Structure formats: structure tokens, C-alpha cells
Amino acid sequence: MEGVVFLLLLSSSAALVVVWMLILLNDYWWKPKKLEKWLNQVGIMGPPYKFLSGNLKESVRLLKEARSKPMELSHRIAPHVVPFAYQVVKEYGKMSVTWFGRHPRVTIMEPEVVREVLSNKFGHFQKPRSNHLLKQLVPGLADYEGEKWAKHRRIISPAFHVEKLKRMLPSFAASCTDLMERWENVVAEGPAELDVWPEMQKLTGDVISRTAFGSNYKEGNRIFRLQTEVSEHIVESIQSVQLPGFRYLPTKRNLRIREIDREVGALLTNLIKKREQKIRMGEATDDLLGLLMESNVRDSLARGGTRGLTVEEVIQECKLFYFAGQETTSVLLTWTMIVLSMHPSWQQRAREEVLQTFGKNKPDFDGLSHLKIVTMILYEVLRLYPPAINVVRTPTKRIQIGRNWFIPGVHLTFPILLIHHDPELWGEDVEEFKPERFAEGISKASRNQSAFLPFGWGPRICVGQNFALTEAKLGLSMILQQFSFELSPAYAHAPGTHITLRPLRGAQIILQRV
């Protein structure tokens, strides 16, 4: 009897293994090869699919090779930052296919097609399902679709209205003043070398902590440090092939991520409860958390008491504030200081404009909105060094885009970095730093107004773009008022992606008082 039971268990286990293997073969071989054949038949070519990893191994190999070589001090960064994508486009054309694991990614560089997809008028495109770790870092609005996305966007948008930004300016200025005081100590005895990359991370982390949580910004800083640690784990995860279910294994990385998630959740829950109490007591608030919660209540009342965002959903949006609010502006300010160190004449022109507008007084909101040269410089830096280097969407049904038909399962990739460095769109001087491109605004800077995509496009355009640009203008203005800067001999030009496009070997500059 026992022998019969053992044989039944053995045969059942063997059957389960066979079923699992067939599912694996279907998902990671038969289905990708079928998609590859169909794409090739419609004229979209690229390097062949390889089992499990797709083209990931070759992509990582070329990236390691590019990073191992010193890079010249220039703005021709695409071959160094995205060597595999750059090589594929060069070999197979501006509409070509690569394989991100088992998923085909069709590169599209035609601005009209980019605009059509990102406008998403009929809801036929959505973001692909995120890496589960990436969801923990960039959750909430950035990850939702359909009605849920529309609801969150409707409730969150009022917190970023221009009038609300004006009220946040004192918080921006307080963080910038702290930075200026630190730098004054650094140059107390004369010009000094400083790595401005961690300095900008501290500045923007402090800004988002103040603006998100007001008087509780010190608690906010703890959350910021934890979110930064999570980003390190995410980068490691994205660059490796993971089989289904791997995230549930008790690995050191997985356990640490869960620990951070619990701590961040507890900290945010505590802050939300404090804010709910203040709102019940009728206290006014100018920080993002308070504005979000007030908007949530108003939206619920306006819709007849319909339930707004839950506490858990507010927590997810707070996590997004941290990542998007801190990361985007820190890389923008860092690259701006590097680029203005490379082009001192533009640094001087920007300083003259700032001093003419504000003198040595703290910048005000209206003055910031009239800084033409500073705005042109920031736009050109965003073109050359966009924080996010690509956008990915997938169709929800069989649909024609431009001259081609696409089906669900095919990811459409719009390589922002390559589009921003395309001479057919920006001219033969595309690799040069020329802020004057934007003298007449974004619409006339290139041969197609859809070619400038640092904050995305369409209804999903970054809700916090005005927040980021206002913070960047204020920070840069206050720096220019008090300091001049040039590249240190220790600086090595090494732009690379680590969630966003950042200087992988630091941003060492020589700082001195004006």
C-alpha cells in the first residue's frame, strides 16, 4: 500500500514538473519566437531572441565595456550611456526590435508616433507591468491605469497648482539657504573642491521632506534615506534575469526590501495620522501631504461622499513624491553645474541675469518665472541629459500606429535620450550645448515639437514638472548669486543610468565666492 502511495505521489510530482516545464517553454521560447517571426515579417528587425535573457546579456556586456573606458569631455553621450540601443538603431534602423528578457521592445523614434501613443486619446496604450521592486520605489500614480489613474491624478493635481507652488517657495528657500551656508564654510579659506552630486541629493531630499511634511521634515529625511537604499537594490535586480517566484525567496536582498517597506509604511502612517488630527482641528497647511489630504476630502464631498484615497494609497503617493520629487531635480541641478562649468560664458550670462533680476536678495516666484536665460539653460541640459532615458508603452488591443500594426505583448519603447540626440530632429549641432535653441520656447526648438520629452507627453506628463523646474530655478539662482564654479581636474565625465541619468563618478567642481 505504501509503495502505491509513493508511486502516485512520484507520478503527480513528475506531472507537475512537466506542466511547469511546458509553461516555461511557452512563455520563454515558443511565444517569443512566434512574436519575433511576426515582427520580422512586417519589417521590424533586430538581434535575435535568446532563451530567458533575450538580449539582456549582450546589453549588460556592452554597457560594462563602455563604462570601463574613459569618456571624452563632450555631450555625445548616447554611445556611452546606451551602447546596445545605440548600436541596434545604427544597424537596424529607427524602428527596430530588441528583447528585454522574453518581452519584445520595438524602438520608435518618429516624434509623430511618439505623440500619438503618449496622447493615448482612446486608452489603447498602457505602461507594461512593472518589476515588482520598481513598484515599491515608483508606486501610486506612476503605476496605475484607467479609472484608478484618473482618480489619483484628479486628486493629486491641485497640490501642484501654481498658487500652491508659490506658498511652497519659503520651504524651497530654507533648504537652499542651508546649502549656501554649508558651501560658505567650504570656501571660507579660498577656492575648494566639492562633489556637488551628493550635495544636490541632500538639497532636493531636504526640499521634498520640507514640502511634503512641513514641520516633520526630519522624519521625512529618514524615509528619503530608506527609499534611496531601495533604489540600489532595484538597479541590481533590473540588471539580472529573475525566474517567476524569485521575489518570494528569503534572500538577503528580498528580506531587506521587506524590512524597509514595513518601516517606511509605519513612518508614513504616523505622519498621516498626525496630519489628519491637524485637519480635524482646522489647522491650515501648505505642505504636499496636507494639500493632498485636503484635496482628497474635497473630491469625495464633490462626488456625493464617494470614497477617496485610502491611507495605503496616500502612503504610495508619498513614496512617489520622494522618488520623483528628489531624484529628477537633483540630477538636473548636478548636470547643470557640470555643463555650466564646461561652458563658463553661459554661466556668466546666467549669473548676470540673476543679479539683474534679484541683486543679492532672495529670489521671488514672479522673478523666477521671468528668467529667460536660466530657463533656456535648464531646457538644454534636460535635452542633453534627460533624467529618464526612455518611455515604454504596450497596446491593449491590435492597433495600427503610423504605418505598422502592433499587438498586446509587444512593448513600444521611445528612447528619449536617442530622440534628444537625433540630428534629423535637432540639426547637425545636436551634440553641442546651445541654449539659444529654446529662445522662442520649446515648440520652435526642434524640427518637431514632440521631440522634447524630459517629462513625458500627453495626459501622463509628469504632474510635478513645475515643482521640479521652480526648485531648479531657485537653487541655481541662489548658487549663481554667491558662487562661481569650474570643473576639478579630478572630474571624470561618466554619465550613466541608475534609475535616472546621473554622474556615476561624481561631479567634482572647484567652488569659489563670486
Q: What digits encode the pLDDT tens for the residues 33-86?
A: 999 999 999 899 999 999 988 999 999 999 999 999 999 999 999 999 999 999
Among 5-14, 155-164, 358-367, 378-387, the least confident range = 5-14
Q: What digits encode the pLDDT tens for the residues 277-304?
A: 777 777 766 778 888 887 887 887 777 6
pLDDT band at 320 (very low <50, low <70, confident <90, very high): confident
Q: What gap in Å lies between CA 74 and CA 67, rounded to an integer?
A: 15
What is the grid cell recorded at 245? 517566484
- For residue 161, the model assigns a pLDDT of 86
Closest CA to 212 of 259, 248, 164: 164
Sheet (strand 483-487) strand order: 192-195, 508-513, 483-487
Q: What digits encode the pLDDT tens for the residues 226-278?
A: 877 877 776 666 655 555 556 666 778 788 888 888 888 888 888 888 777 77
Average pLDDT over residues 96-121: 91
- For residue 247, the model assigns a pLDDT of 60
Closest CA to 404 of 119, 125, 96: 96
Burial tier of 423 (Cβ tally within 10 Å: 0-12, 13-18, 19+): exposed
CB atoms within 10 A of CB 138: 22
According to DSSP, residue 95 is labeled E
Q: What digits encode the pLDDT tens for the residues 420-479?
A: 999 999 999 999 999 999 999 999 999 998 899 999 888 888 888 999 999 999 999 999
Q: Are 172 and 481 in contact (CB under 8 A)?
A: no
Closest CA to 498 of 233, 246, 260: 233
501 pLDDT exceeds 60?
A: yes
pLDDT band at 15 (very low <50, low <70, confident <90, very high): confident
pTM score, two decimals?
A: 0.89
| Residues near 247 by beta carbon (within 8 Å), at least 6 away in sequence | 132, 133, 254
List Cα–Cα distances, 501 to 86, 113, 259, in angstroms: 16, 24, 27
Q: What digits encode the pLDDT tens for the residues 190-238?
A: 999 999 999 999 899 888 888 877 755 666 677 777 877 877 776 666 6
Q: b vs e for 118-128, b when ≥16 Cβ sit within 10 Å of the residue's Cβ? A: bebeeebbbbb
Q: Are 376 and 76 in contact (CB under 8 A)?
A: no
Q: What is the largest CA-CA distance in the chain?
A: 95
Strands (DSSP E) contained in 166-296 are 192-195
- For residue 173, the model assigns a pLDDT of 94
CB atoms within 10 A of CB 226: 17
Q: Which of the pair, 441 or 129, is modelled with greater confidence?
A: 441
Percent of the chain with pLDDT over 70: 90
